[in-house]
Amino acid sequence: MSTDLEAQLNDFSFSKRTEALDALIASETQLPAEQEVVNLHCHTFFSFNAYGYSPMGLARLAKQKGFKALGIVDFDVLDAVDEFLDTCERIGVRGSAGMETRAYVPEFSAREINSPGEPGVYYYMGIGFTSSQVPTEVGPILADMRARAAQRNRVMVERINAHLSPVIVDYDKDVLPLTPAGNATERHMLAAYVQAATKHFADPAPFWAEKLGLSEEQVCAQIGDAPKFQNTIRSKLMKRGGVGYAQPGPDTFPSVDEVNRLIVACGALPCAAWLDGTTAGEEAIEELLELLIAKGAVALNIVPDRNWNIPDPETRKLKVKKLYEVVELAQKLDLPLNIGTEMNAFGQRLVDDFDAPEMLPLRQPFLDGAYFIYGHTLMQRTLKLGYQSEWAKSHLPTRRERNAFYTELGKLVPPGKDGTEKLKPFTSAMSPAEMLGELS
């Protein structure tokens, strides 16, 4: 019965998810103790989660596994924010909510940054959102981001349909139903094409061999491994050099400045993102981060697993070195760290291996980053006194002071309703020191 309810937590129906959560809470017995591990970068099924997790499902996962904190992020939408943070408060999980997008950095227009083969294009984030609703004045920015993503998808489907005919998909009928709220990604389109080919051919291997430019032996070796085969299709059809790919330009994505306007208006935190330090743009990482800080960035996102969990020893050595260097630089520049595994591709971990030798030296800055964003989220959601508030700017004028305050508050306030109740008596007439004194 519990297994059925866990599956129901990830149903597309909000009411069914809520029903499952109610039943699981009612039948709860013993939960594991908290571990010193966090995952602050988990996509929900509102963009794409490889394991099908909903916002409720991810909050429940964190509670069941004893994660110290968990943060969600979705591409170009804030659909999951309210559900996730409400669930975290209800079941006692330190939660944070973010959004990821691609933006254009004109100052780096000649340099590849963290989007392979696309100079000037930058994967970028906002973290510490506290509502799915946005202020009226920036609503058009969020709507435009969603509309741009949908239009790029439709153009890609048209191109791929022409190449894969007679196997074609209808974006509205075949792709969008794979999502709970109409925000499709390349991975949804992949699933639709695989399903269409399976329906059209009793044995789709010869079809895929011809269309992907592979031998039947190569296709047969992969087709039984759905994640691996879908990655091959994505690489051949959707990524650079593929028939569905269109090289982006300065007008394909919003500028970082425009995205920052949206993030800050929501009381959230602009967050730079780092890949692995090997591109031309990331070889100039201090220049890039200083530029982004000047534009409003106050944190840095890292996906650690892809920077140390590498079979080739020489590549591993290089990327671990660069990982340590960027963490050191982030601390020098007063950028708290937001880290996690993404969960938007099959095979990615549910949480990083904090006991790996390469990860041990980074445990504390990674945990501190989690406390920081949780502390901001609590203060903004409960009192509207988060990092971007006038109260914070007045009492804590430097980023270093704000980082220290929200990190310490995140450590002192327990997750769940007990923590919220501790903050409710606080007012903007109190100083940060008075608040920490009351909490400690």
Q: Say whether pLDDT at 78 is over 90.
A: yes
Give domain status of residue 336, yes or no: yes
Give domain status of residue 256, yes or no: no
Mean pLDDT of 27-49: 92
Give pLDDT, residue 30.
80
Q: What is the rounded end-to-end Cα distance, in angstroms, of the chain?
A: 42
Find the range with the poorest average confidence among 22-31, 97-106, 173-182.
22-31
Give domain status of residue 431, yes or no: yes
The model's confidence at residue 345, banded by pLDDT at 50, 70 and 90, is confident
d(CA 111, CA 119): 5
Mean pLDDT of 253-280: 97
Give pLDDT, residue 226.
84
Give pLDDT, residue 31.
84
State whether 23 and 41 are in the same domain.
Answer: no
Give pLDDT, residue 227.
82
State whether 296 and 386 are in the same domain.
Answer: yes
Of 43, 46, 44, 60, which Cα lies nearest the Cα of 7? 60
State whether 329 and 424 are in the same domain.
Answer: yes
Mean pLDDT over all residues of the chain?
96
State whether 294 and 380 are in the same domain.
Answer: yes
Q: Say whether pLDDT at 84 is over 80.
A: yes
State whether 110 and 230 are in the same domain.
Answer: no
State whether 26 and 48 are in the same domain.
Answer: no
All residues at 6 or more sequence positions from 249 whose CB lies less than 8 Å from its CB, including other chains: none
Give pLDDT, residue 27.
87
Write out pLDDT tens, residues 177-204.
999 999 999 999 999 999 999 999 999 9
Give domain status of residue 325, yes or no: yes
Mean pLDDT of 264-268: 98
Domain range for 297 is 35-132+266-439
CATH number at 307 reads 3.20.20.140
Q: How many domains does the chain have?
A: 3
Give domain status of residue 416, yes or no: yes
**Residue keyed to tokens 């606080």:** 426
Give pLDDT, residue 379.
98
Give domain status of residue 242, yes or no: no
Give pLDDT, residue 338.
98
State whether 171 and 118 are in the same domain.
Answer: no
Give domain status of residue 59, yes or no: yes
- With pLDDT > 70 as the criterion, what percentage of the chain qualifies? 100
The model's confidence at residue 249, banded by pLDDT at 50, 70 and 90, is confident
Mean pLDDT of 8-20: 97
State whether 161 and 124 are in the same domain.
Answer: no
Q: Say whether pLDDT at 419 is over 70.
A: yes
Query: Is the Cβ–Cβ distance between 327 and 338 less than 8 Å?
Result: no
Mean pLDDT of 312-335: 97
Give pLDDT, residue 1.
52
Of 71, 87, 73, which Cα lies nearest the Cα of 18? 87
Q: What are phi and psi of 110, to 5 degrees?
A: -100, 0
The pair of three-digit structure tokens given for residue 311, joined into one six-digit string: 């079979």
Strand pairing report for 95-104 and 69-75: parallel
Write out pLDDT tens, residues 222-247.
998 888 898 899 999 999 889 999 89
Query: Is the Cβ–Cβ distance between 88 and 417 less than 8 Å?
Result: no
State whether 121 and 10 are in the same domain.
Answer: no
Mean pLDDT of 78-102: 98
